[in-house]
Amino acid sequence: MERYDPKTIEAKWQKVWAEERAFSVPNPPLDELRAHRNKTYVLEMLPYPSGELHMGHVRNYMLGEVVAHFRRRHGYAVLRPMGFDSFGLPAENAAIDAGRHPRELTEENIARIRGQMTRIGWAIDWDRMLATHEPDYYRWTQWLFLRFFERGLTYRKEVPVKWCPNDQTVLANEQVIDGRCERCGAEVEARNLEQWLFRITAYADRLLDEMEELESWPERVLTMQRNWIGRSEGAELIFRVDGLDVDIPVFTTRPDTIFGATFFVVAPEHPLVEHLVEGTSHADEVREYVRHAGGRTAVERETKEKDGVPTGRFVVNPASGARIPVWVADYVLMEYGTGAIMAVPAHDERDYAFAKRYDLPIKTVVVPADDEPPEGEGAFVAHTENERLVNSAQFSGMPAPEAKRAIVAWLEERHAARPAVGYRLRDWLLSRQRYWGCPIPIVHCERCGIVPVPDSELPVLLPEVEDYLPKGRSPLATAEGWVRVDCPSCGGPARRETDTMDTFVDSSWYFLRYADARNDEAPFAREIVDYWLPVNQYIGGIEHAILHLMYARFFTKVLNDIGLVGFREPFARLFTQGMVYYRGAKMSKSKGNVVDPDEYMDRYGADACRLYPVFLGPVDQDAEWQDSGFEGMVRFLNKLWRVGLGAVEAPAGVSAGTPLARKAHATIAKVTDDIGRRFAMNTPIAAVMELVNEISRSEEDPARGFAVETAVSLIQPYTPHIAEELWQRLGHERLWASPWPEADPAQLEQETFELVIQVNGRVRDRVEVAADASEDELVARAKESPKVRAHLDGKQIRQTIVVPRKLVNLVVA
């Protein structure tokens, strides 16, 4: 018998697919596009071209691959594009390590990865390929930036920033993990710099509320985003500084505790600190504290014991009229709320710790509703379900939730409060002082200030520079000829913005560009994106649960507001796949523990390489690469090949009524359900293996030919090369376009099933029963079984439990 030779088969079919452009899905004219109702947009997060593909990548892209084939086989027009996130730190750092120019190395990597993807036979529409570093693409990134600018959604501001001393650039909040740089792990420093930001906080509520519109996202991703946005409802309360004509607002979620505020704290970075202490005897001590606190790292600030200094100033509690002292302490953060708090030591652990240390008064104002108020003053009272107020003037005795509203309303009348919402979310800092990124299309003019580059002058091309290594200021600044321009507004001397954009800007709209990838008059045509989008199935790593996924949602909402797209959420369904571990660490080039697919393709062929990474385990969970299991896939493909050729010699046969036919039908149902509904990728492979084992054991079954066709057809999304070859040899047309073999319901009704008979829950017998047998018939069959009778032994049947098509249980006394 002819040997299974993956090399020949794979080369043959890849040539056929390339010639017929099997995976290209060009956009038809608009009116035709609208008429085509069955579309699926399958999208995997675009890779950074910082190296080559390894088996971890193979596993990820196989998910989109299987879904794309599966949907296509079910009669859908499937958009399944691919591109490269080629700007940014990963690519630039890889280039620096290699001592190469980023463009050169990036483009080399792109070519190499594309080659690997082609060789493995993925059904990708390469006609829509994009790379974010190409002017054709970043021209529109700049264009979109200008639309944000026009609407005031991007702005420039001097801000305290997180600075990575290793990468020599500013980081977004989201890129700082435990006080360290997300990419390199260096401890992040604080600096004050003029930076560009996106006003993502303006969309905080919509990013929360419009989660409702998502079809299917993992709950944990939504939870992570909710936590990140960190919305909390409360009030802004205004405290007046005694002796100065100054009001300081604070944000609190517990306005009900205002009568318990016994001191007041402002953050060291608070702009009013200097004004508060100017000319007082505390000025030197406070300045010293502020200076010292500024030098602390984020980690120090969090782990040390709470400390602070008094300012000598007092504010007036707007509710009680009490004068309470103002302190400066760095346990209050400038970035959250208003940078100042009213301290209620009896009901806030942090305030309590601070009060204990500096011997400040503690006043209980909220107690559990059922209990007696705690003895005396000075205790910490933890928050509980049912609470009422004490020591709070006219509000004493009121339940806490009601008191919250009442106190805010009462203070609001006196212009000392308003309801407010606090967010943990900060604006998105997008400036990067690095070379390899999208230039920000802005000009700084001596006379006109900040001037946007006109659309007609886009793209602002990234200049060639001698030295692109990071130095703490953008390398673009060294390109004098590029920096100096005439102001687009007044024609006077001006300088270009030299910061580049965060890579996450590039990847916040790429999914739109794919729909209309070759448009050179606009980023995309609205009619076309409205047809393809939202993405039906988005696939990517959990590591992007917050960053990329929230930025992309933000961009889509802004574009929807501008009228560029007709939808508000970009990704209807999201699937987050697990990572592949090898030798105890996440498989990655930097850890040096990659498994190279090329080697395996050389030895075993592409189909085995496609199969094994997804067979490893459930794809939403992390998996450990087990090299020993790979051979099993090769054995399976050989077996499939054998039974396939066997069926070629003895074709056709029946498609129902035999055990093998039944098995085949059951496998169709299982695979369809697993891929289509459950998004399970490993169990369908197991089901087909089971079917193939069954075929090779059932030499005589007349449904053999049908079962083989079923197996070939079902495994095709995983291993299209061998499937296509066998399908052809079995005498059929092209497989990827053909419908799936369907079970005939009328025939299924004739089938039998195995009835399990139990007595008191113990299995006593099994019998074959017609599938359409009634419950009474099932019970009758159970009772007439000799084995069951022996166990009944004349005892009375107390209860009969019938599970249709499965089981009868006779319960006896």
Partner RNA sequence: GCCGAAGUGGCGGAACUGGUAGACGCGCCGGACUCAAAAUCCGGUGGGGCCUGGCCCCGUGUGGGUUCGAUUCCCACCUUCGGCACCA
- What residues from 254 to 313 belong to the interface with RNA (CB under 7 A)? 254, 267, 301-302, 304, 306
- Does an H or E element contain 709, and which? helix 704-715
Selected from 762, 768, 793, 796, the binder of RNA by CB under 7 A is 762
Which amino acid would we find at residue 27?
Answer: N
Q: How far is the CB of 223 from RNA (least distance, A)?
A: 5
Selected from 330, 497, 516, 607, the binder of RNA by CB under 7 A is 330
As beta bridge partners, residue 40 has 78
Touching RNA, residues 348-377 (CB under 7 A): 348, 350
Touching RNA, residues 157-186 (CB under 7 A): 177
Q: Which is nearer to RNA, 37 or 677 (CB)?
A: 677
Q: How far is the CB of 601 from RNA (least distance, A)?
A: 18
Q: Which residues contact 100 (CB under 8 A, 6 or more apart)?
A: none
Touching RNA, residues 54-93 (CB under 7 A): none
How many other CB atoms are found less than 10 A from the CB of residue 190?
15
Selected from 157, 766, 772, 777, the binder of RNA by CB under 7 A is 766
Q: How far is the CB of 727 from RNA (least distance, A)?
A: 21
Selected from 129, 246, 528, 546, the binder of RNA by CB under 7 A is 546
Q: Which is nearer to RNA, 82 or 344 (CB)?
A: 344
Identify the DSSP state of 359: T
Selected from 47, 121, 339, 439, the binder of RNA by CB under 7 A is 339
Q: Which is nearer to RNA, 219 or 733 (CB)?
A: 219
Touching RNA, residues 424-483 (CB under 7 A): 424
Q: Choose one: 135-143, 341-349, 599-607, 655-663; the region binding RNA (CB under 7 A).
A: 341-349
Q: How far is the CB of 278 from RNA (least distance, A)?
A: 23
Concatenating the DSSP letter of every residue in 717-728 gives TT-HHHHHHHHH
Q: How far is the CB of 639 from RNA (least distance, A)?
A: 6
Q: How far is the CB of 276 from RNA (least distance, A)?
A: 17
Q: Which is nearer to RNA, 54 or 180 (CB)?
A: 180
| The residue count for the chain | 813
Concatenating the DSSP letter of every residue in 507-532 gives TTSHHHHGGGTT-SSSS--HHHHHHH
Q: Which is nearer to RNA, 101 or 424 (CB)?
A: 424
Q: How far is the CB of 127 from RNA (least distance, A)?
A: 36
Q: Which is nearer to RNA, 129 or 211 (CB)?
A: 211
Touching RNA, residues 620-659 (CB under 7 A): 621, 623-624, 626, 628-629, 631-632, 634-636, 638-639
Q: How far is the CB of 125 from RNA (least distance, A)?
A: 31
Q: Which residues contact 368 (CB under 8 A, 6 or more apart)?
A: 381, 384, 386, 387
Q: How far is the CB of 596 from RNA (least distance, A)?
A: 20
Q: Which is nearer to RNA, 91 or 342 (CB)?
A: 342
**Sheet hosting strand 762-770, strand order edge to edge:** 762-770, 752-759, 807-812, 797-803
Q: Choose one: 89-97, 362-370, 404-412, 761-769; the region binding RNA (CB under 7 A).
A: 761-769
User: Tokens 């000319």, residue?
Assistant: 279
Q: How far is the CB of 663 from RNA (least distance, A)?
A: 11
Q: How far apart are CA 11 and CA 261, in angstroms?
A: 77
Selected from 48, 289, 331, 511, the binder of RNA by CB under 7 A is 331
Q: How far is the CB of 352 from RNA (least distance, A)?
A: 11
- The site for RNA, by CB under 7 A, has a size of 79
Concatenating the DSSP letter of every residue in 315-356 gives EE-TTT--EEEEEEETTS-TTSTTSEEEE-TTT-HHHHHHHH
Touching RNA, residues 97-126 (CB under 7 A): none
User: Tokens 């093998």, residue?
Assistant: 660
Q: Which is nearer to RNA, 484 or 795 (CB)?
A: 795
User: Tokens 């001592």, residue?
Assistant: 99
Identify the DSSP state of 373: P
Q: Which is nearer to RNA, 184 or 450 (CB)?
A: 184
Q: How far is the CB of 724 from RNA (least distance, A)?
A: 22
Touching RNA, residues 567-626 (CB under 7 A): 615-618, 621, 623-624, 626
Q: Choose one: 37-45, 159-167, 370-378, 752-760; the region binding RNA (CB under 7 A).
A: 752-760
Selected from 337, 441, 540, 605, the binder of RNA by CB under 7 A is 337
Based on DSSP, count helices (H) and strands (E) in the chain, helices before strands. 28, 34
Q: Label the pairing between strands 807-812 and 752-759.
A: parallel
Radius of gyration of the CA atoms of the chain, in A: 34
Selected from 758, 778, 781, 785, the binder of RNA by CB under 7 A is 758
Q: How far is the CB of 659 from RNA (least distance, A)?
A: 13
How many Cα atoms occupy the beta-carbon half-sphere of 24 within 13 Å?
13
Binding track over 226-255 against RNA, x by CB under 7 A: -xx-x-x-x----------------xxxx-
For the chain, the first-to-last Cα distance in angstroms comes to 62
Identify the DSSP state of 394: G
Q: How far apart are CA 359 and CA 686, in angstroms?
A: 68
Binding track over 777-806 against RNA, x by CB under 7 A: ----------------------x-x-x--x
Query: Angle, to 10 degrees, between the axis of helix 597-604 and the axis of helix 606-615?
Result: 120
Q: Which residues of 345-383 are buried (b: 16+ CB within 10 A; e: fewer)?
A: bbbbeebbebbeebebebbbbbbbeeeeeeeeeeebbee
Q: Which is nearer to RNA, 339 or 597 (CB)?
A: 339
User: Tokens 């077996």, residue?
Assistant: 639
Sheet strands (E) in 532-643: 537-541, 574-577, 580-582, 585-586, 623-624
Measured over the CA atoms of residue 537, residue 539, residue 543 and residue 549, the dihedral's sign is: negative
* Short-list 435, 447, 445, 450, CA closest to 194: 450
Q: Cβ(431)–Cβ(161) under 8 Å?
A: no
Q: Which is nearer to RNA, 224 or 316 (CB)?
A: 224
Q: Phi and psi of 770, rounded to 5°?
A: -65, 145
- For position 756 contacting RNA by CB under 7 A, the verdict is yes
Q: How far is the CB of 670 from RNA (least distance, A)?
A: 8
Q: Choose one: 42-50, 152-160, 343-351, 364-372; the region binding RNA (CB under 7 A).
A: 343-351
* Short-list 579, 500, 442, CA closest to 92: 500
Binding track over 659-698 against RNA, x by CB under 7 A: --------------x----x-x-xx-xx--xx--x--xx-
Touching RNA, residues 192-231 (CB under 7 A): 219-220, 223-224, 227-228, 230
Q: How far apart are CA 765 and CA 453, in angstroms?
A: 82
Q: How far is the CB of 654 from RNA (least distance, A)?
A: 23
SS3 1: coil
Q: Which is nearer to RNA, 249 or 463 (CB)?
A: 249
Q: Which is nearer to RNA, 427 or 497 (CB)?
A: 427
Q: Cβ(231)–Cβ(422) under 8 Å?
A: yes
